[in-house]
Amino acid sequence: MLNIIISLFLGILLGLISGIVPSLHINLVTIIVLSLLKSQNIIDLLTLIVSLSVSNSFFNTIPLTFFSIPDSPETSISTNPAQKFTSFGKSYEAFLLTIIGSISSLITFLIFSPLILYVYPTLFSFIKPSTSLLLLLVVLFTLIKEKTSRIWALISFLFSGLLGIFTLTSYNIKEPLLPLLSGLFAIPSMLSNLKNKEERTEQKITQPEINKFRLIKLNFLSLLCSLFSTFLPAVGPSQSAVLASSITKISLSESLILTGSLTTLNILFSLITLKTINKSRNGSLESLKDIIPKFSSNELIFSIIISIIVAGISAALAIYFARKFIKNIKSLKLDYLNKFFILLTLILVLIISKPIGILVMLTGTAIGFIPIFKNISRNHLMGCIILPVIFYTLKIL
Amino acid sequence: MQDKKLFLLAIIIAILGLILLIILTSINEKTTEISEVKKLQLDSKVNLIGKLTNIEKSKDVTKFNITDETGTIKGIIFKSLELRENKLFEIKGVVKTYKNSIEIHVNSIKES
């Protein structure tokens, strides 16, 4: 029992670190942890990985809401809403909205999980033959929904897709997601923050006003969109958000709730898919297959209980840290922080992925600037995962 | 620097980077010997050349042994494939463990 508690808190701590450091992707942390602790008891490792994954989904909105750095495709969709809240001095409120989304989606998930578990295998076998066609439709849909420039959205998608194909299929690049995602998402945002040295608005602790009926509606919508996205490899929370926003009109505050909700649901649905089809949509949970070849019902129930405990602790910790941030944000040298994270990313990439990783990161950074300069959504950069998957399902790769 | 110039620079770097990556990834793929595979970390990607034996095909999975001059290792691909016994194949995959023994989860396989 003591080992489980230690694993749970270690997982939360690692989730906090990987959530706050923009380039430290959860998959990389999981691989390092598993290689160091592979001789540990299965239940301890399961607790550790589930805690790490769930807590990361709470903490990974910190860089986005406080420093305008989306460190992953999951949170990139809310860059603009978060920046707008920050410009009004309401970054704490923006952060709180993502936490409300995460917690409320967990409750919705718990209510509907027995039904989802029951129907999922049938739905999956029905949809599986049409995966590549549905993926193409999702890509077309997100391109059509782009209001500013569809041409540049297509170029962003194709360039990031080509980069993804060469990076993910190469046998010379270790941990390819590290340079790929840091280059496309985190580094361009940090460089852009360094370039735009506007006077930072004073940040205050303000509370969001939430319409309970809208919150229930949003949760139900995000549950359906997340469920749909589980059938399609590479389609993540950012594409689910585009889908959700096309079904109903979503305000700035609601898009932040949606981000929290979709990111947490992405992890929780991975537990369901691990049990029902022995596949996970999340890299960290997928690594559980090396420890537990067949994920049983008992392990699923145990993981859900751990998720509930971790969600509660993570939400409380996240709010505590956010309040500390707000009080001390004036003394924080954001320029230094951005430079530190860029340097840290460079060192990590050089050590883990070697010089070829730096080339991937540099190319990714150049591609990642296209949406920033052209003011289009960054979810088109998810081409880095979606295009290789389309090619793979069509047996081109 | 003006935004337009910066944007142009980003596009040039993106195109040059993609071209360089195509060249580097295609000329620099070294083959791993099977005796070396056991020393690698889990989840390492490998590129093997070997003969296939003991091919077992089921609905969704094809299992086989891969043999080169240095040893034999189990391979598994999650597809039903027609593979020719004792022929030389070029195999790309990832090092995994199953029931305490190392095996290769194959991503692509072609006759060499």
Paired tokens of B49:
């050349």
The answer to whether the CB atoms of A162 and B18 lie below 8 A apart is yes
Q: What is the pLDDT of residue A15?
A: 92
Q: What is the pLDDT of residue A126?
A: 87
Mean pLDDT of all residues belonging to chain B: 83
Is residue A240 in a domain? Answer: yes
Strands (E), B1-112: 45-57, 62-68, 71-77, 88-98, 101-111
* % of chain B at pLDDT higher than 90: 12
DSSP alpha helix (H) spans, chain A = 2-20, 26-36, 42-59, 62-67, 73-76, 79-87, 91-127, 131-144, 150-169, 177-181, 187-195, 212-230, 237-247, 252-276, 283-286, 297-328, 334-374, 383-393
Q: What is the pLDDT of residue A233?
A: 78
pLDDT tens per residue across span B32-54? 888 888 777 777 778 888 888 88
A265 contacts A304 by C-beta, under 8 angstroms? no
Nearest residue on chain B to A152, alpha-carbon basis: B11
Structural domains of chain A, count: 1
| Low-confidence spans in chain A with pLDDT less than 50 | none
Is residue A288 in a domain? Answer: yes
Cα separation values, A269 from A100, A113, A262, A381, B75, Å: 18, 9, 10, 23, 30
The answer to whether the CB atoms of A362 and B17 lie below 8 A apart is yes
Q: Which of residues 23-42 of B touch A (CB under 8 A)?
A: 24-25, 28-29, 41-42
Indicate the SS3 state at residue B90. strand
Q: Is B98 on the interface with A (CB under 8 A)?
A: yes
B36 sits in which H/E element:
helix B34-37
- What domain range includes position A210? 2-158+205-329
- B67: distance to nearest CA of chain A, Å? 20
Cα separation values, A138 from A72, A243, A392, Å: 19, 9, 16
Q: Is B47 on the interface with A (CB under 8 A)?
A: yes
CA distance B35 to B33: 6
Complex confidence, ipTM: 0.78
Q: Is A151 on the interface with B (CB under 8 A)?
A: no
Is residue A379 in a domain? Answer: no
Q: Is A278 on the interface with B (CB under 8 A)?
A: no
Is residue A310 in a domain? Answer: yes
Q: Is A291 on the interface with B (CB under 8 A)?
A: no
- A369: distance to nearest CA of chain B, Å? 7
Q: What is the pLDDT of residue B15?
A: 94
pTM, 2 dp: 0.78
Q: Is B7 on the interface with A (CB under 8 A)?
A: yes
- B74: distance to nearest CA of chain A, Å? 16
